[in-house]
Chains A and B, each alone.
Chain A
Amino acid sequence: MGAFIINVPANVSLFPRRRESNFVEFRKCLQTWIPACAGMTMLVLFLGIVGNALAQSAPQKFPGVGRAATPAEVAKWDIDVRPDLKGLPKGSGSVARGQQVWEAKCESCHGAFGESNEVFTPIVGGTTKADIESGRVANLRRADFPQRTTLMKLAHLSSLWDYINRAMPWNAPKSLSADDVYAVTAYILHLGDILPADFVLSDANMAQVQNRLPNRNGLQKYTPKWDVRGKGDVTNVACMQNCKQEMKITSNLPDHARDAHGNLAEQHRLIGPVRGADTTKPAPTAPLLARAALPAVAVAPTPRGDPPPAVPSGAALARKHNCTACHAQASKLVGPSYAEVAAKYANDANAVSKMMEKIKIGGSGAWGVIPMPPHPTMTDAELKALAEWALRGGK
């Protein structure tokens, strides 16, 4: 009997929560209410014998909560593709088609050859023919190699396919057809000299192409840091006294970086045992109080209970709507800099309404062939704030 009780919480789904406490509950029940529990005990005994299969067809534990997912719902959301290619949809795309997709939808952020550093680390570069043979990217061993591109690290072709399919283009994810995902994946591999120019990538040959990935043998599954009671790979000992003979500073921030993160005085509380260092000034030579007095604190009084402004500032809106992905204040990114926009329309009386329209419906031609995406859900007030802000040069 005892053996069954212990068996129960481990195998049966009647009590899916914490094991010990279920056990205790169950025992309490047995002790205090044996007759009423008898039926349950019998059931448990029975289940303990037949195990999972039957437990799963036991009556619903939470009647009325949740419902069955329909096949169409599962199909719509379950889009992941695993390294063994489970989940890969049928389809195909050529390198040539991939180039078209790339130039229209990817190049603006990642560069013509996937080499751009502007928005993200480069996708292509750093792999060789020899790597394709060995399945290990040699440059990963070099401490002096400047960066790790996507193709240098990629071990499963599925990861690239799946990610483009679910998340790219960054500002319009899930807009590519399966065929175009095959095509643009093929084009990226072509840029990396992994596939020839006339290649057509498809669900039928993904597994073969996997065997050409330069870093396909470069991953190790490291389990000690997946197992909660696993052992670390580094062993320190908790020495308490005379642990180390000499103390030497091996690294510190150079003086010229003193204000690289802004004025640290403004990033600390105004009271307490410490203050933020005033990094607008050179490092001091004496503690604060010895310097006679603390700097005055200036906090602009805010009227009590003022509601926040109805429309956030242009800068806040630009951050919110990711305009910053393509525009900077002074330098051209994907789109023109705000300084350029301000200069161009300095004498245009209708500039605000024109810009509002452009931000809303998007389009190309004013600055080049790359289109700006539309922002159809923005309110007029937001559009106006953004347009005026852009026309002030993003200030």
Chain B
Amino acid sequence: MPTKYPESTVPAQTGRVLKAPEHFLSQAQIAEVQAGRRDFLRGVFASALAGASATAGVAAAQAAGVSGFKGDPNILELPEHTTGLGSPVAALGYGTPSKWEKNLQRRESPGLTRVSAASVSFCPLQGLFGIITPNGLHFERHHQGWWDIDPSKHRFMINGLVRNPKVYTMDDLMRLPSVSRMHFIECGANTGMEWGNVAVPTVQYTHGMLSCCEFTGVPLSVLLEDCGFDKVKGKYILAEGSDGSSMTRTISMNRALDDCIVAYAMNGEMLRPENGYPLRLVAPGLQGVSWVKWLRRIEVGDQPYGSKDEVLHYIDLMPDGTHRQYTSIQECKSVITTPSGGQTLLDKGFYNVSGLAWSGRGKIKRVDVSFDGGQNWRTAKLETPVLTKCLTRFNISFVWDGSPCVLQSRAIDDTGYVQPKINQLRAVRGTRSIYHNNAIQSWKLAASGEVSNVQVY
């Protein structure tokens, strides 16, 4: 312990620290243990050591009917952080999550892609709260690797059907009037592995190409006006990235003028390099591929551009062998994140079932939850804020009686569209389209408390 403070300000140590496990067992219990109840000892001992799960250990001790239970050692024995001196300010110039939270990471789905620079990492939705995605956990999808670009050398150009083709520096863009808006971004291929059957275990892999941030930047409409775009002939824009893939996507002028943002910030700080630092397009409601990262150029034109990622990919294969193109708007969808696939419930009793709902067409109007595989539904509570083209958090109470059941959520947006069942989607689109699967997700809760990914339709 550091001793640079006067003796008197250091909290006095009260009592002696006893060795585990005896310190919370009575003499009688120790005798029992010595007489052979070793299973019980091991359980409690492990929990006491674990700290993080010690409450459960105490519950176990109580459940095991231990007589003379005096109390929780986490209360009775003051821990080091209560009796010692903590770390100084600015020990971390940029703070990081607690070391206890290291399990929540972006992860690749094994075998999904062949090379990691043209791949995707999924956001751990199973561990997130509310509607905002922490920047370090935002999902990633790159086609040709990512870069950390020097912002003082980054340039943004607008050309094509404009009266004044212009170049802007980051200084220029950050001088302009800005807006900050919360929107979800979802890859068109989210849940794409599940068209034919169940393929992956957890909500991270079924739905984790989804994130939601508060983005700050200049409305694209302001910049298009600044360049004097052609309001008669200009029907489309092309957005282009400055990375090796120089990703290009066509966006209709109607979407571009509505609410697109040329954004430089997310959640109060500059964009992360993996998310397009220093500049990306935010195209609310449209699939993630349209949110071009490392944005270098917008071109105004009178026809769509037919780029590789709108002619060869992000197109939906229909049963008749044609591909649907420009299926850009992410339709209404929802998923329960707690409990969800790959989790195991502590025990019977009360749970707050919680999840996310969103729609590329507007606001979420209602979310219903079923606990019996879709036969009966109850309406969940929507938490505020409920914003357009933004994740909405829903919650609903559930008392689990220990019997197997199947949980589902179903969202309705303000156009009245009801999130469909997978068999309804298959009836129209078949099973090979890869993209735009917004089906109702089913989680089976087994008597063992384990939750798994299933389909019931």
Q: Chain B nearest CB: distance from A61 CB in Å?
A: 7
Partner of A163 from B160, B308, B347, B447 at Cβ < 8 Å:
B308
B324 near A238: Cβ-Cβ < 8 Å = no
* B102-121 at interface with A (beta carbon < 8 Å): 102-105, 107, 109-110, 114-118
- In the assembled complex, the Cα of A273 lies from the Cα of B345 at a distance in Å of 6
Point out the residues of chain B lying under 8 angstroms from A239, CB to CB.
377
B60 near A293: Cβ-Cβ < 8 Å = yes
Q: Chain B nearest CB: distance from A48 CB in Å?
A: 15
B329 near A230: Cβ-Cβ < 8 Å = yes
B166 near A277: Cβ-Cβ < 8 Å = no
A252 near B453: Cβ-Cβ < 8 Å = yes
B52 near A83: Cβ-Cβ < 8 Å = no
Q: Which of B12-20, B131-139, B194-202 contacts A (4 or more CB under 8 A)?
A: B194-202
Q: B73 within 8 Å of A by Cβ?
A: no
Q: Chain A nearest CB: distance from B315 CB in Å?
A: 7
A293 near B56: Cβ-Cβ < 8 Å = yes
Interface bracket on A? 35 or more
* B301-338 at interface with A (beta carbon < 8 Å): 301, 303-308, 311-312, 315-329, 331, 338
Point out the residues of chain B lying under 8 angstroms from A36, CB to CB.
none
Partner of A220 from B240, B324, B351, B372 at Cβ < 8 Å:
B324
* A63-99 at interface with B (beta carbon < 8 Å): 64-69, 73-74, 77-80, 82-84, 86
Given contacts A78-B297, A247-B456, A251-B454, contact A264 B159 (CB under 8 A): no
* A127-179 at interface with B (beta carbon < 8 Å): 136-138, 140-141, 143, 148, 150, 153-156, 158-160, 162-163, 166-167, 170, 173-174
Q: A302 within 8 Å of B by Cβ?
A: yes
Partner of B342 from A74, A137, A267, A297 at Cβ < 8 Å:
A267
Partner of B299 from A78, A226, A230, A276 at Cβ < 8 Å:
A78
**Which of the listed residues A74, A150, A232, A295 has the most CB atoms from chain B within 10 Å of its own CB?**
A232
A288 near B342: Cβ-Cβ < 8 Å = no
Point out the residues of chain A lying under 8 angstroms from B226, CB to CB.
16, 60-62, 65-66
Point out the residues of chain B lying under 8 angstroms from A319, CB to CB.
116
- In the assembled complex, the Cα of A247 lies from the Cα of B436 at a distance in Å of 25
Given contacts A141-B321, A225-B331, A242-B375, contact A65 B172 (CB under 8 A): yes
> Interface digits, B363-402 against A, CB 8 Å rule (1 contact, 0 not)?
0001010001111110000000000000000000000001
Given contacts A286-B448, A301-B99, contact A229 B455 (CB under 8 A): no
Q: Chain A nearest CB: distance from B429 CB in Å?
A: 8
A283 near B175: Cβ-Cβ < 8 Å = no
Q: Chain A nearest CB: distance from B307 CB in Å?
A: 6
Q: B267 within 8 Å of A by Cβ?
A: no
Q: Chain A nearest CB: distance from B10 CB in Å?
A: 18
B417 near A274: Cβ-Cβ < 8 Å = no
Given contacts A218-B321, A238-B368, contact A268 B307 (CB under 8 A): no
B339 near A173: Cβ-Cβ < 8 Å = no
> Interface digits, B139-163 against A, CB 8 Å rule (1 contact, 0 not)?
0000111000000000001111001
Q: B412 within 8 Å of A by Cβ?
A: yes
Q: A33 within 8 Å of B by Cβ?
A: no
Point out the residues of chain A lying under 8 angstroms from B311, CB to CB.
153-156, 159, 219
- In the assembled complex, the Cα of A248 lies from the Cα of B109 at a distance in Å of 28
Q: A46 within 8 Å of B by Cβ?
A: no
Q: Chain A nearest CB: distance from B152 CB in Å?
A: 16
B346 near A292: Cβ-Cβ < 8 Å = no
Q: Chain B nearest CB: distance from A88 CB in Å?
A: 12
Q: Chain A nearest CB: distance from B294 CB in Å?
A: 13
Q: Which residue of B lies closest to A171 (CB)?
A: B244
Please report the number of residue pairs spanning A and B whose Cβ atoms sit closer than 8 angstroms: 432
- In the assembled complex, the Cα of A85 lies from the Cα of B159 at a distance in Å of 18
Point out the residues of chain B lying under 8 angstroms from A283, CB to CB.
446, 448, 450
Q: A32 within 8 Å of B by Cβ?
A: no
A221 near B325: Cβ-Cβ < 8 Å = yes
Partner of B144 from A153, A167, A264, A288 at Cβ < 8 Å:
A167
Q: Chain B nearest CB: distance from A90 CB in Å?
A: 20
Given contacts A234-B424, A274-B344, contact A62 B374 (CB under 8 A): no
Point out the residues of chain B lying under 8 angstroms from A13, CB to CB.
225, 228
Given contacts A84-B303, A324-B116, contact A284 B449 (CB under 8 A): yes
B415 near A154: Cβ-Cβ < 8 Å = no
Q: Which residue of B lies closest to A302 (CB)?
A: B99
B43 near A154: Cβ-Cβ < 8 Å = no
Q: Chain B nearest CB: distance from A377 CB in Å?
A: 12
* A274-302 at interface with B (beta carbon < 8 Å): 274-277, 279, 283-290, 292-299, 301-302
A67 near B166: Cβ-Cβ < 8 Å = yes
Q: A208 within 8 Å of B by Cβ?
A: no
Point out the residues of chain A lying under 8 angstroms from B60, CB to CB.
289, 292-293
* B148-198 at interface with A (beta carbon < 8 Å): 157-160, 163-168, 172, 175-177, 197-198
A141 near B320: Cβ-Cβ < 8 Å = yes
Q: Which of B1-9, B28-36, B209-217, B245-253 contacts A (4 or more CB under 8 A)?
A: B245-253
A218 near B99: Cβ-Cβ < 8 Å = no
Q: Chain A nearest CB: distance from B75 CB in Å?
A: 17
Q: A24 within 8 Å of B by Cβ?
A: no
Q: Which residue of B lies closest to A325 (CB)?
A: B115
Point out the residues of chain A lying under 8 angstroms from B221, CB to CB.
16-17
A261 near B109: Cβ-Cβ < 8 Å = yes
Point out the residues of chain B lying under 8 angstroms from A257, CB to CB.
201
Q: A223 within 8 Å of B by Cβ?
A: yes
A77 near B127: Cβ-Cβ < 8 Å = no
- In the assembled complex, the Cα of A167 lies from the Cα of B343 at a distance in Å of 41
Q: Chain B nearest CB: distance from A105 CB in Å?
A: 14
Q: Which residue of B lies closest to A278 (CB)?
A: B344
* B37-67 at interface with A (beta carbon < 8 Å): 39-40, 42-44, 46-47, 49-53, 56-57, 59-60, 63-64
Q: A369 within 8 Å of B by Cβ?
A: no
Q: Chain B nearest CB: distance from A68 CB in Å?
A: 6
- In the assembled complex, the Cα of A150 lies from the Cα of B301 at a distance in Å of 26
Point out the residues of chain B lying under 8 angstroms from A6, CB to CB.
none
- In the assembled complex, the Cα of A251 lies from the Cα of B351 at a distance in Å of 26
Q: Which residue of B lies closest to A245 (CB)?
A: B375
Partner of B326 from A226, A235, A288 at Cβ < 8 Å:
A226
* B406-438 at interface with A (beta carbon < 8 Å): 406, 410, 412, 415, 417-421, 424-425, 427-432, 436
Shortest Cβ-Cβ A-B pairs, 10 listed: A293-B43, A287-B449, A141-B321, A140-B321, A247-B373, A305-B91, A16-B225, A163-B308, A222-B324, A289-B347
Sampled A-B contacts (19; CB under 8 Å):
A66-B168, A77-B297, A82-B303, A141-B319, A148-B317, A154-B311, A170-B144, A219-B322, A232-B420, A234-B428, A247-B373, A260-B201, A269-B101, A273-B352, A293-B42, A293-B44, A293-B57, A293-B60, A294-B53
